[in-house]
Structure 1
Amino acid sequence: MDETPSLDDLALFLTVARAGSLSVAARETDTPLPTLSRRMARLERAIGRTLFTRGPSGYSLTAEGHSLSRRVADLAEVQQAARQWVQQGQGPLPVRITAGFWTSRHLAQTMTPDHSALWRPAFVPSNADLDLARRAADIGIRNRPPDSTRLARQRLRRIDYAIYAISDGVADYVGLPDTVASTPSQRWLRATHGDRITTTASDPRLCLDLALAGFGRIVLPTFAGDAEDGLQRQSDAIPELSHDEWLVSHSNARHDPPIRAALDAIQAVFARR
Structure 2
Amino acid sequence: MKSGMLDNLHAFLVLADCGTLRDAAQQLNSSSATLGRKILQLEEEVGLKLFDRLPAGYTLTPDGKRMRDQLDPFQTAFAGFEQWLQSTTRRPQVRLSAGSWTMKFLQRHIKDLQRAEDNFDLLFVSSEARLSIKKREIDIGLRSTQAHEAGLVSKRLTTTSFAPYVHADKTQVTDMPWLSVSPEFAQTSSIRWVLANHLEHITTFVSAPHNLIDLVEAGAGIAVLPCFVGDTNPLLNRYGPPIAELSGEQWIILHEERRNLPEVRLMADRITKLVQSNRGLYRGDQPSDHEAAEVNEV
Q: Same fold (TM over 0.5)?
A: yes
Query: Which residue in the other structure is 1:224 paired with?
Result: 229
The residue identity in structure 1 corresponding to 2:81 is A
Percent pairwise identity? 30
Q: Deviations over 1:67-96 (max 9, x none)?
A: 343244243333333333333365433322
* Contact residue 52 and residue 59 of structure 1 kept, 8 A: no
Query: Which residue in the other structure is 2:251 paired with?
Result: 246
Q: CA deviation at 1:102?
A: 0.6
- Tell me the distance in 2 between the aligned counterparts of 1:37 and 1:160: 39
Q: CA deviation at 1:240?
A: 0.1
Say which of 206, 216, 227 aligns to 1:211.
Answer: 216
Q: CA deviation at 1:33?
A: 3.8
- Tell me the distance in 1 between the aligned counterparts of 2:131 and 2:272: 20
Q: 1:245 to 1:21 in 2, by over 3 A?
A: closer
SS at match of 1:102: helix
Query: Which residue in the other structure is 1:40 paired with?
Result: 42
- Tell me the distance in 2 between the aligned counterparts of 1:182 and 1:83: 29
- Tell me the distance in 2 between the aligned counterparts of 1:196 and 1:225: 21
Q: CA deviation at 1:151?
A: 1.0
Query: Which residue in the other structure is 1:146 paired with?
Result: 147
Q: 1:210 to 1:139 in 2, by over 3 A?
A: same
Q: Where does 1:54-133 land on structure 2 (aligned, <5 Å)?
A: 56-57=53-54, 61=60, 63=62, 65-88=64-87, 90-112=89-111, 113-133=114-134
Normalising by structure 2, report the TM-score.
0.75
* Contact residue 119 and residue 262 of structure 1 kept, 8 A: no
Q: CA deviation at 1:109?
A: 0.5
Query: Which residue in the other structure is 1:193 paired with?
Result: 198
- Tell me the distance in 2 between the aligned counterparts of 1:151 and 1:222: 28
Q: 1:56 to 1:193 in 2, by over 3 A?
A: closer
Q: 1:137 to 1:216 in 2, by over 3 A?
A: same
Give the unaligned 5+ runs of structure 1.
Answer: 45-49
Query: Which residue in the other structure is 2:50 paired with?
Result: 53
Q: CA RMSD in A?
A: 3.2
Q: 1:271 to 1:92 in 2, by over 3 A?
A: farther
Give the unaligned 5+ runs of structure 2.
Answer: 279-298
User: Number of residue pairs matched?
Assistant: 267
Query: Which residue in the other structure is 1:260 paired with?
Result: 265
Query: Which residue in the other structure is 1:168 paired with?
Result: 171
- Tell me the distance in 2 between the aligned counterparts of 1:206 and 1:60: 26
